[in-house]
Amino acid sequence: MTSGTAEIFRLPEVFDAVTGDFIVLPCDLVCELDGLSLLETWMVQCAGFGGATGGRVDSRPIPLGAGGEKIGRRGGLGLWYDTKVENGIKGEETDFLATTPLPKPIVPPAEGSLRSSTEKVVLSMPTDTLNDITDEEKTFPVRQSLLRKHGRIKMHTTLRDAHVYFLPYWVLQMMKTNETFDSINEDVLGWWAKATWQEGLTEKLGLRDILDPPQPRHYHHNNDTSDLTSEVDVISLSTTHCSISQHAASKPTTTLASRVHSSPTSAPLQPTPPLQIPPLLATLQAPTTNNAAKLVRRIDTTPSLLATSLSLALLMPPSPLAHPQKIPSPDSIPSQARVSPSDTLIDANTTIAPKTTIKECVIGARCVVGSGARLTRCVLFEGAEVNGDAQLTGCVLGRGCRVEGGAKRKTVLWDCEVGHGFVVPEGTEARGEKFVAGHGLEEGLEEEIGEMEDIPVSEA
């Protein structure tokens, strides 16, 4: 739970399991965007020739094919979503992202393509890191090499990394080589983006040995695909290469007289050719794009759980996240109860008493809502109970908790969090408080995840 993502990939159990290009997904993602659209964008914009992505087969490196590094390896693609949207989360974590537009395509992209909202990343860091830099420097320094390489740069401050990455195999090797990398978001992406334009960073990160390793002159492959994966010398196949003429080759060498003394000079050093770093691309879920209506969120805090759950309750078909039936048993709702069917989700085996008011809520299974209770913009986990005449607004109730209420001593809660199994006494009035027994709702969820690791897969 506390290990960094890049640190996890350096573990032998994980490193040995990845033998080619790979995808990284978070466990707290809610994404309405079609994953195949992202995969298609990555394959089209970052495509390499056969075998150019590298990898391993039977613990042996796969040779480069059809030009290899002379053509270029695949780059990477990440997903960022905008936090300043309707029903957004106040104070949500954000990232600082600087991008530059991709070259205009010759053929217009197909309808529904994410090409128009995909850009190249040149800087990436968490907003907290940006604030530390600006506080220390009293400004935000920008290197001249960045401006020389890219003239048009957009700086985004309201986006958040969804932690969805399509990465080539060589990125795994980069994380293995640089043991100081702790996080993919904070370390790998940031250094990768800067390496595409900052001089000297390629050698510092060891990318030359990773992207352009010395290749054996002859490679023998045993399987039937040797003709596709064997190394091809593209330069030798070109008809435009230069050669020294026979006349120049046969021209006699000029010699100096014996009385002329010349000091020996060393042969000039051949400059190391610049290494082409594969690009890091970002698909931006910003309001200006045609896919801004797609819901993309990370559920890592209680406010994000509340806001996203209420957003899911509003979705209607054909959204893949929409529920086909928001209230499984409408007949079980008493006629005297007022329940808003358009923005409320109620799970099965839930008891709703008469004279209740429920609006913009998500209620789990086996919950009980007593007579006279009023729930507005609330989320109730399984087995939660709200007794009569209690008024709750913007609250999250944990599993098996109970909120007492009565006609004489009403319980009124605004923007509160009630932990699993906690009992809120009758007559309580609170705003923005947490009612927990030993730990909060978020810590309780983490404990449940840890307990599930010990359960066999068949039982889970």
Based on the domain organization, do 153 and 97 belong to the same domain?
Answer: yes
Residue 122 has pLDDT above 70, yes or no: yes
437 part of a folded domain: yes
Based on the domain organization, do 43 and 180 belong to the same domain?
Answer: yes
CATH number at residue 417: 2.160.10.10
119 part of a folded domain: yes
Question: Does 252 or 331 have the greater pLDDT score?
Answer: 331
Based on the structure, what is the number of domains in the chain? Answer: 2
- pLDDT, residue 453, reads 43
Based on the domain organization, do 28 and 172 belong to the same domain?
Answer: yes
3-state secondary structure the chain: CCCCHHHHHCCHHHHCCCCCCEEECCCCEEECCCHHHHHHHHHHHCCCCCCCCCCEECCEECCCCCCHHHCCCCCEEEEEEECCCCCCCCCCCCEEEEEEECCCCCCCCCCCCCHHHEEEEEEEEEHHHHHHHHHHHCCCCCCHHHHHHCCCCEEEEEEEEEEEEEECHHHHHHHHHCCCCCCHHHHHHHHHHHHCCCCCHHHHCCHHHHHCCCCCCCCCCCCCCHHHHCCCCHHHHCCCCCCCCHHHHHCCCCCCCCCCCCCCCCCCCCCCCCCCCCCEEEEEECCCCCCCCCCEEECCCHHHHHHHHHHHHHCCCCCCCCCCCCCCCHHHCCCCCEECCCCCEECCCCEECCCCEEECCEECCCCEECCCCEEECCEECCCCEECCCCEEECCEECCCCEECCCCCCCCEEECCEECCCCEECCCCEEECCEECCCCCHHHHHHHHHHHHCCCCCCCC
Q: What is the mean pLDDT of residues 186-197?
A: 96
77 part of a folded domain: yes
- pLDDT, residue 110, reads 85
- pLDDT, residue 160, reads 96
Domain boundary among 236, 267, 298: 298
37 part of a folded domain: yes
Based on the domain organization, do 206 and 323 belong to the same domain?
Answer: no
Residue 368 has pLDDT above 50, yes or no: yes
- Going by pLDDT thresholds of 50, 70 and 90, the confidence category of residue 405 is confident
- Going by pLDDT thresholds of 50, 70 and 90, the confidence category of residue 307 is very high
Residue 281 domain boundaries: 5-104+113-213+276-298
Based on the domain organization, do 57 and 125 belong to the same domain?
Answer: yes
- pLDDT, residue 138, reads 92
Based on the domain organization, do 311 and 386 belong to the same domain?
Answer: yes
- Going by pLDDT thresholds of 50, 70 and 90, the confidence category of residue 57 is low
Domain boundary among 238, 263, 298: 298
Based on the domain organization, do 347 and 368 belong to the same domain?
Answer: yes
Based on the domain organization, do 282 and 403 belong to the same domain?
Answer: no
Query: How do residues 331-362 score in pLDDT, each as one tens digit?
Result: 889 989 999 999 999 998 999 999 999 999 99
